[in-house]
Structure 1
Amino acid sequence: MRVLMVSWEYPPVVVGGLGRHVHALATELAAAGHEVVVLSRQPAGTDATTHPTTDDVLDGVRVLRVAEDPPHLEFERDLVAWTLAMGHGMLRAALTRLAPWRPDVVHAHDWLVAHPAIALADVLEVPLVATIHATEAGRHAGWLSSPLSQQVHSAEWWLAQRADTLITCSAAMRSEVAELFEVDPEPIVVLHNGIAPRRWRASTARVRAVRERYAPGGAPVLLYLGRLEYEKGVQDLIAALPRIRRAHPGTRLVIAGTGTAHDQLVEAVAAHRVRRGVTFTGHLPDADLSALLRSADAVVLPSRYEPFGIVALEAAAAGAPLVASTAGGLGEVVLDRETGLSFRPGDVPGLAAAVGTVLSDPRAAARRARAARKRLGSAFEWSGIAAATAAVYAGAARGAATAHGRPKIPTGNAFGRA
């Protein structure tokens, strides 16, 4: 099939897990013989003179990467205007540079590309498939109090309503999307994210060096890997650390990642008096991450909201013991007492107890880690996920054109919770 993927991030422009997901899916589809074009963007803050529009074939995928237009718009300051400008640039580039090539299907990844993806599907008269990777309401525990959140929610609603076929990365996300955007959950297809296990290998010498760097003297090492945002729950892990260190003296926590909550987390470390036990590494290259994952006594994922939890797959691929909350898709990725240990989101004592169990019984933790790694090949292998996605494309049918009004914005909690 001829597939046009529209994504606001694609390596080397990566903000979160979405960019890696689209890259893995696109390259796997191309390897299977499908003709894939990815429509994406140049880095934010650049322009057409420093980073002009490019059209290249990378790993078998044609990547049309669109330059930013001249207006001074910033992602952090002008999110909606910036997104609309990006969409306009994508639409112009696709219509002027891709012809006479024509896709059989347009695949949109999240609300930021709703405008160009919908327009291209309409103009080209082909089915629109949309993957909803996360929701604004989910990120804010159901509250849509700010004008920006309401704007994002309405764009998500439009994409969900307009798509001919919807995909989510977990059953939890399917329920969330159906409730928030007033769509029937039955036709929504659940396709998990995948992982390439060999990517996370590291030599014994490198693992030993990394462990000595972050925990000299053989102290237990806990690792959090991911974005530093409130919904990721890192504040709960920091709050649990004093309790963990009382039971297991010297335990070190390594926090790898960047995000808007960084300064608040530094303050939390000071407030809980664990500054000697916490290291913030910032962004790390994959080679260092591989060694860090393999050196950890436990990878802890304390999310309060998590559509899927691809870091759990990365930890499993590296053979690291997992401790994770049951938030969203994490409850489907980490099977409690089979492939890891789980706790309720926000439950600090439960988090501390689960980590303590791992540190007290490393043999059992290693058995669960082996089971998690074994499960990757059956449930999270990219070739199978790509084949299932291609089947979705083949079955997608273009619906009748429908005009949509504006959705009603909930005045209370969007999930009906107080």
Structure 2
Amino acid sequence: MRVLMVSWEYPPVVVGGLGRHVHALATELAAAGHDVVVLARHPTGSDAGTHPTSLDTRDGVRVLRVAEDPAHLEFARDMVAWTLAMGHAMVRAALTRLADWRPDVVHAHDWLVAHPAIALADVLGTPLVATIHATEAGRFNGWLSSPTSRQVHSTEWWLANRADTVVTCSAAMRGEVAELFDLDPAPITVLHNGIEQRSWRVPRRRVVAAREHHSPDGAPLLLYFGRLEYEKGVHDLIAALPRIRRAHPGTRLLVAGTGTATELLDDAVRTHRVRRSVAFLGHLPDADLAALLAGVDAVVLPSRYEPFGIVALEAAAAGAPLVASTAGGLGDIVVDGVSGISFPPGDVPALARAVGRVLTDPASARRRARTARTRLGDEFDWTHIAAATAEVYARTTAGGPIELARPKIPTGNVFDR
């Protein structure tokens, strides 16, 4: 099939897990013989002078990367206007740079590309598949209190209701999307994220060196890695650390990643008096992160909101014992007592007890880690996921163009309707 994927991030432009998801899916589809074009963008803040629109082939995938328009728009300051401008540039590039090539399906990834994906599907008369990776309401615990949040939510609603097939990455997200966007959950397809296990294997000497660097006295090591945002719950993990250290003296927490919650986490370590027991490592290269994953006593993922949780797959691939909240997609990945230890989101005492189970019984923790790694090949292999995605493409028929009225924005918490 001829597949046009539309995504606001694609390596080397990576903001979060979405970019890696699209890259893995596109390359696997191309390896299976499909003709894949990814419509993406250049880095934020660049323009046609430094980064002109380009069409290149990488890993069997043609990547059409659009330049930013001349208008002085900044993502952080003008998010909706910037997104609209990006969409306009994508439409122009697709219609002028791909010559006579026409896709059999357009696949949109999240609300930021709703405008170009819908426009191209309408103009070309092709089926529109939309993967909803996360929701604005979910990120803000059900609240749409700002004008920007309401604008994003209504755009998500538009994409979900215009799409001929909606895809989510977990069963929990299917329920969330159906509730938020007034959809029947039955036709929504669940396709998990995947992972390549080989990329997380590192030589034993590097694992030992990483462990000795961060725990020269052999004390227990915990690791959180991922974006530093409120919904990731890292402040809950810091709050639990004093309880954990009382039962397991000397335990240290390593926090790898960047994000907007840095100030919140700085306040948390002061409030809970664990400054000397927490190390903020910033962004780590993949090789260094893999060595840490294989060397720590537990990876702790305390998310309050998590559409899927690809970091859990990465931890499992590296053989790390997992402790995770049951938020969203983490519940699909971490089976309590089987492939890890789970706890309710935001429950600090339960979080501390879950970590304690791992540190008290490391043999059982290692056994669960082996089970988690085995599940990767069965349920989270990109080759299988790409094949299932191609089946979705094949059975999706074009239903547009259609015009939709604006959705009503619920007052109060949208999850309490």
Alignment correspondent of 2:23: 23
CA distance in 2, matches of 1:30, 1:316: 26
Please, which moves more after superposition, 148-157 or 45-54? 45-54
Look up the match of 1:225: 225
Secondary structure of the 1:411 match is: coil
Tell me the amino acid that sits aligned with residue 337 of structure 2: R
Return the letter of the residue paired with 2:219.
Answer: A
Tell me, in whole angstroms, the C-alpha distance in 2 between the residues paired with 1:75 and 1:221. Answer: 37
Q: What is the letter of the counterpart of residue 407 of structure 1?
A: P
In the alignment, which residue of structure 2 is the partner of 1:169? 169
Percent identical pairs in the alignment equals 76
Moved over 3 A (4+): none
In structure 2, what is the equivalent of residue 338 of structure 1?
Answer: 338
**1:400 Cα offset (Å):** 4.2
CA distance, structure 1, for counterparts of residue 137 and residue 85 of structure 2: 24
CA contact (8 A) 2:162 2:400 kept: no
Task: Write the distance in 1 (CA, Å) between the matches of 2:114 and 2:139.
Answer: 19
In the TM superposition, residue 71 of structure 1 has moved relative to its aligned partner by 1.4
Q: What do the CA deviations read for 1:307-330 (whole angstroms, capped 9, x no partner)? A: 011000000000000000000110
Deviation at 1:294, TM superposition (A): 0.5
Q: Cα deviation per residue 1:71-108 (whole Å; 9 max; x = unaligned)?
A: 11111111101101111111111111012111000000
1:256 has 2:272 as partner: no
- Write the mapping of 1:25-64 to structure 2, written as runs, cut at 5 A: 25-64=25-64
State TM-score, norm by structure 2: 0.99
Who is 2:139 aligned against? 139
Equivalent positions of 1:277-292 (< 5 A) are: 277-292=277-292
2:191 equivalent in structure 1: 191
Alignment CA distance shift 1:400-1:50 (3 Å): closer
Q: What is the letter of the counterpart of residue 11 of structure 1?
A: P
User: Unaligned 5+ residue runs, structure 1?
Assistant: none
Match of 2:105 in 1: 105
Aligned-residue offset at 1:208: 1.2
Correspondence 1:309 to 2:305:
no
- The alpha carbon displacement at 1:122 in A equals 0.4
1:299 positional shift: 0.3
1:244 equivalenced with 2:244 (yes/no): yes
Partner of residue 350, structure 2: 350
What is the distance in 1 between the residues matched to 2:92 and 2:55? 14
How far apart, in 1, do the equivalents of 2:377 and 2:276 lie?
39
Considering only aligned residues, what root-mean-square deviation do their CA atoms show, in Å? 0.7
Aligned residues: 417
Map of 1:158 onto structure 2:
158
SS of equivalent residue, structure 1 residue 95: helix
**How far does the alpha carbon of each residue in 1:1-26 deviate from its partner, in whole angstroms, 9 at most, with x for none?**
00000000000000000000000000
The CA deviation string for residues 160-181 of structure 1, in whole angstroms up to 9 with x for no partner, is 0100000000010000000000
314-323 vs 202-211, which moves further: 202-211
**Does the CA contact (< 8 Å) of 2:312 and 2:333 recur in 1?**
yes
Deviates more, 1:290-299 or 1:395-404: 395-404
Deviation at 1:155, TM superposition (A): 0.3
Aligned partners of 2:323 and 2:342 also within 8 Å: yes
Query: Which residue in the other structure is 1:2 paired with?
Result: 2
Q: Hey, what's the Cα distance between the residues in 2 that align with 1:46 and 1:292?
A: 34
Question: Which sits farther off after the overlay, 129-138 or 395-404?
Answer: 395-404
TM-score, normalised with respect to structure 1: 0.99
Distance in 2, matches of 1:243 and 1:209, equals 28
Matching of residues 399-414 of structure 1 within 5 Å: 399-414=399-414
Provide the secondary structure at the position in 2 that maps to 1:415: helix
Contact 2:125 2:400 in 1 (8 A): no
How far apart, in 2, do the equivalents of 1:229 and 1:132 lie? 19
Deviation at 1:402, TM superposition (A): 2.0
Amino acid at match of 1:340: G
Partner of 1:26: helix, strand, or coil? Answer: helix
Output one character per residue of 1:349-386: Cα deviation in whole Å (capped at 9) or x when no partner. Answer: 00000001100100000000000000101000000000
